[in-house]
Amino acid sequence: MPEIKITPLGAGQDVGRSCILVSIGGKNIMLDCGMHMGFNDDRRFPDFSYITQNGRLTEFLDCVIISHFHLDHCGALPYMSEMVGYDGPIYMTHPTKAICPILLEDFRKITVDKKGETNFFTSQMIKDCMKKVVPLNLHQTVQGDYNMTPDRHLGAAWIDKCRPDILISESTYATTIRDSKRCRERDFLKKVHETVERGGKGENEPQGPDLLLQGLTEKANHYYKLFITWTNQKIPQDLRAAEHVRVQAHQALDRSYAITLDRWAIGHKILNGQRKLAS
C-alpha cells in the first residue's frame, strides 16, 4: 500500500477553516476548504503558503473535495480558486453545489457590504468558482460532519462494510454533554422572540439559522423539495402537511378577499344614492 501523508492546512488544532491535504500515490487531494469565523484577517483562511509560496495551486493539487456546505468547510473556496489560483476540479454533492453559493454570497454581504472588510472575494468570484464544481451523488464524496442519529432534515450517517486505513474526523463536541435538541431549539426561539419584540432583527452565523432569520426561508424550502430524496422520511411528511396548510390559508384568504370586495361594492352604491339593492 502506498504511503499516505496527511497535512492539516487548517483546523488541525482549532475549530474552523477545515482544510486537509492528503498525498497518496503521487496525487495531492484537498479535503474541504473552509473559513475560520473567529478572525477578520488572513488567519480566517487555510495556510496555502505551505503548498506554494507564490503562484497558482493548479500545478500542485489534483482535485478538491468539499464534504458539505457549512462555511467552516467551504467558506474559503472562492478565495482559494480565484484569488490564490486554482483551475482544477472541485467535487461536491448536488445539494452542496446548490446551497454553497447562497451561503457564500450571504456571508460576503455581511463581511464586505456591512462591515467594509477588504481582501475578500467578490460575487463574480463566487460564480466563477462554482463553474469549476463537478457534482457527485451520495456516497461518492467524503464527509466532514456526521451524526449517527437522525436530525430534523437528514437521516443517520452510515456506510457499508468500510475498513479505512485512516479516519479523519472533527471532535468539536466529542467530550461535551449537550442539552437535548428540543431544549436548544426552545432557547433559540425564545431569543428570537425577545429580539423581535425589542424591535431588532435576527442575524446569526451563516449556517443553518440564517435560513430562518435572514430572508432565506423560501430558498431553504425550495431546496428541501428539490432534494427531497436526500432527506430523512419526516421531511416529505412535513412538506405535505405544510402545503396542505398553505392551500387552506390561501382558500380562506380568497374567501375573505371576496367578501371584502362585495361589501366595498355595496357601500359604494349606497354612498352614491342607490336605495334598492338586488338580493
Q: Is 170 a catalytic residue?
A: yes
- Decide the pairing of beta strands 19-24 and 4-10: antiparallel
- pLDDT confidence bin for 207, thresholds 50/70/90: very low
pLDDT at 256: 46
- Active-site option among 3, 117, 170, 194: 170
The whole-number average pLDDT for the span 222-242 is: 67
Output 245 or 143, whichever has higher pLDDT: 143
Of all residues in the chain, the percent with pLDDT exceeding 90 is 33
List Cβ neighbours of 144 (8 Å cut-off, separation of 6 or more): 18, 31, 32, 67, 68, 70, 73, 169, 170
- Which DSSP string do the residues of 195-215 spell out, in sequence order? HHHTT------TTTTHHHHSS
- pLDDT confidence bin for 159, thresholds 50/70/90: confident
pTM: 0.69
